[in-house]
Structure 1
Amino acid sequence: MNKKTIYSLEVYEPGDDRSVAIDMKSDTPFGSISVGDEISSPTMRIGDRLKATKIWHIFWELDTHITHKICVSTTSVQH
């Protein structure tokens, strides 16, 4: 049986990898994010844009599905 894969993206507030600025889930993979990319979303609680400073992937498997989580540390982008 093929398990469903759930994709998760967490973008953290500048300088704080415990405070989530963006949390999204999807049934399809997210596009590529690289260090230095600028990120913005209407769902962010802070500022207009952030810059990715570190990216890591976490994978886990449960009986019902597999999860691929992308975590993104950020810094503020000054206008």
Structure 2
Amino acid sequence: MAVAALDEAPLAGVVVTGGDTAQALLDLLEADGIDLVSEVLPGIPFGTVHGGRRPGLRVVTKAGGFGGPDALVQAATYLAGLP
């Protein structure tokens, strides 16, 4: 479903939680990895998908131990504010 949504909807990017989820998304996209660009918050990286079906797709990855209760909102706001 995630890949279908990515193919159908114009998105600013995606926020994924957990390394297993990030890896599953990359596998479905047949991507080589994520090129790191910056941090949304300390320990919450922002990057772009490298290779695969959606090269350049903007991605924020968040592990459970990083960020406060509003970290996911901040990550989505960050993506929405990118040019």
For normalisation by structure 1, the TM-score amounts to: 0.28
Higher Rg of the two aligned structures: 1
Between Structure 1 and Structure 2, the one with more helix by share is 2
Between Structure 1 and Structure 2, the one with more strand by share is 1
Question: RCO (CA 8 Å, sep 6+): is it higher in 1 or 2?
Answer: 1
